[in-house]
Amino acid sequence: MVSIDVHDASVNFPIFDAKTRSLKKAVLGTVGRAGGTIGTDSKVPIIEALRDINLSLRHGDRVGLVGHNGAGKSTLLRLLAGIYEPTRGSAHVSGRVAPIFDLGVGLDPEISGYENIIIRGLFLGMGRKQMEARAEEIGEFTELGDYLSMPLRTYSTGMRVRLALGVVTSLDPEILLLDEGIGAVDAEFMERARERLHELVRRSGLLVFASHSDAFLIELCDTAIWMDKGHIREEGALRTVLHHYRGKDPFANLSQEAMNRIGSPAGPTAGQAS
């Protein structure tokens, strides 16, 4: 059964710097840093990137992570992916995880687009035969044509994102951990990518999605977690949490086109969320 269970988990990062001296420690200990607290009890300063995280998710959950830069969203995703071990507490994940944090990771600029499709798929846990069977369909989706036979270094940023999105949206994950990074493509292609992204989410047993885009969060998620300085400040219905985080109803600024795409908004009204 697909599940995520995190109990009293904290993640600390020591700052190993041979130039660190008592004055620097005193300044850091006083000022602190976004996303954590710096401790100076030992000779090595410590950033507490996550603090006392408790989380229980099950099959069917669609959770958005919100918070300012440095609040701990990406660190939490990496904890759930098993990239980071908790310094204290525990994190247990059951299910095949597809961690998608950086669309450029796993791409080689010196090989062709088709070869990168295979490499990127292997990086995300797919088998070579699976990727070879999907390569042609992925190539058609990207609309990159002859560029697929050319080295990746000849691609523009938007073309690279197209290629990476084609691979990512072809996966069949049980747990999808997604960090937003898909803005560098043209509007027409983005609409096609949205459809595939929705299909990817539907195929996933569980989604955790960190994003600054209310529109994307509303499209893909129904609950949300507000991260603040490394801890969970609020957890609940997406509209309620976004309202408290933004200080206004998140649906107020959506275009009619966006409203039509997502359908009738779920959750409490703006008055109820305040």
**271: pLDDT confidence band, cut at 50, 70 and 90?**
very low
Helix axes 157-168, 128-142, angle to 10 degrees: 130
Separation CA 168–CA 171 (nearest Å): 6
pLDDT at 261 over 70: no
pTM of the model: 0.78
Tokens of 63: 């959770």
Q: Tell me the C-alpha to C-alpha distance, in Å, between residue 230 and each of 87, 98, 115.
A: 13, 23, 39
Task: Residue 91: name the closest of 179, 10, 14, 12 by CA.
Answer: 10
pLDDT band at 33 (very low <50, low <70, confident <90, very high): very low
Higher-scoring residue by pLDDT: 152, 249: 152
The stretch 143-156 carries a mean pLDDT of 95
Cα–Cα distance measured from residue 268 to residue 274, given in angstroms and rounded to the nearest whole number: 10
Looking at residue 124, its pLDDT comes to: 81
> Which three-class secondary structure state does DSSP give residue 255?
coil
Six token digits for residue 73: 């969203």
pLDDT in tens, 236-248: 999 999 999 999 8
Name which residue leads in pLDDT, 38 or 179.
Answer: 179
pLDDT recorded at residue 30: 39
Which pLDDT score is estimated for 183?
Answer: 55
* pLDDT interval class at 100 (50, 70, 90): confident
pLDDT at 190: 75
Question: Where do the structural domains in the chain lie, given as residue ranges?
Answer: 3-96+208-273, 113-172
- Looking at every residue in the chain, the average pLDDT score rounds to 83
In this prediction, residue 43 carries a pLDDT of: 67
pLDDT band at 42 (very low <50, low <70, confident <90, very high): low
- The token duo for 197 is 């992204």
Candidates 3.40.50.300, 3.40.190.10, 3.40.109.10, 1.10.10.10; correct CATH number of 3-96+208-273?
A: 3.40.50.300
φ/ψ of residue 160, rounded to 5: -65, -40
Separation CA 44–CA 52 (nearest Å): 21
> For residues 269 and 265, what is the distance between their CA atoms, to the nearest angstrom?
9
Q: What's the rounded mean pLDDT across residues 70-86?
A: 93
What spatial distance separates the first Cα and last Cα of the chain, rounded to whole Å? 36
Q: Is the pLDDT of residue 123 over 80?
A: yes
CB atoms within 10 A of CB 21: 8
pLDDT single digits (tens) 18-32: 455 454 554 454 333
